[in-house]
Amino acid sequence: MQNPNGPYPGRQLFVGLNPAKVPTLVYLVTGRSPASRERMAIARDNGIIIGPIGNTAYDPLRHYTAIKFDDASGIAAVSNGIQTDAIFEAYKLLHNVGTAPDASFIEKLMEGAKAEPDSLNTPRISAVITKTGEAPAIIVSIKKHDMPAKSFIVKPEAGVLTGISTYTGDMEKPTGYDVAKGAAKLKIDAANPVDLAKYLYDLSAATYNGDDIRVCAVGGMYLNGKWQISIINRHK
């Protein structure tokens, strides 16, 4: 089986429930250029950042908070850029004041972030896992440069994750994700974040100009009242 978003998804996220109905997320970073591969996922406080390696200069398009979570509420946000912290804080506030976590909030934040200002007009992608009462509420969103932010409300299903990527999968001519086809589905049997991260990392093996495009994969599951995270990095 190959990555459901093709050989070059760019950056990719999936959210949903594992087979035991545990809230689950996984984030993948791939890159075609040497510069895009010179980074790694790093655990920091209650989140994961995508940071530079060695003396690589900081770049706000390549280096950012990818995941932010809160153990007490179970809320988690994942995205490919500057919007992660804002989405997390917004839905944590909604949870704290008892306001329903509908998609309008994430869409407004994605509109504000806009598509990335690069040559490919790379879309912003994001997701949030929170609650409506005791039930999980899961939303996936994308902002492309030529259309308003779009959200997909995830219907939780055991062992099925819903996700989106920045690109359609074309290695030679990357274009923004095709929103018209809806969100992608990924069936999993992983019961822990270690197996989950490895599953998506292994699933995404591909080369460009003779080099592995994979940068990192991060798996997370809300187990026993705590977000447990596992990281696989190209660079150790």
Asked whether the predicted pLDDT for residue 60 surpasses 90, the reply is no
Asked whether the predicted pLDDT for residue 196 surpasses 80, the reply is yes
Predicted local confidence at residue 54, as pLDDT:
83
Across all residues in the chain, what is the average pLDDT?
96
Predicted local confidence at residue 230, as pLDDT:
98
Asked whether the predicted pLDDT for residue 1 surpasses 80, the reply is no
Predicted local confidence at residue 81, as pLDDT:
97
Q: In whole angstroms, give the CA distance from residue 79 to residue 86.
A: 11
Predicted local confidence at residue 236, as pLDDT:
81
Predicted local confidence at residue 132, as pLDDT:
86
Predicted local confidence at residue 78, as pLDDT:
98
Q: What is the H or E stretch that residue 42 is in?
A: strand 39-44
**CATH assignment of 11-233, among 3.40.50.300, 3.60.20.20, 1.10.10.10, 3.40.50.1370:** 3.60.20.20
Q: In whole angstroms, give the CA distance from residue 9 to residue 43.
A: 23
Confidence category of residue 198, pLDDT binned at 50, 70, 90: very high
Asked whether the predicted pLDDT for residue 134 surpasses 90, the reply is no
More confident residue, 1 or 224: 224
Share of the chain above pLDDT 90, in %: 93
pLDDT, tens only, 98-120: 999 999 999 999 999 999 999 99
Predicted local confidence at residue 59, as pLDDT:
87
Helices and strands of the chain, counted as H and E runs: 4, 15
Predicted local confidence at residue 55, as pLDDT:
83
Mean pLDDT for the stretch of residues 15-24: 98
Q: Which residues contact 141 (CB under 8 A, 6 or more apart)?
A: 103, 106, 107, 110, 125, 126, 127, 149, 150, 151, 152
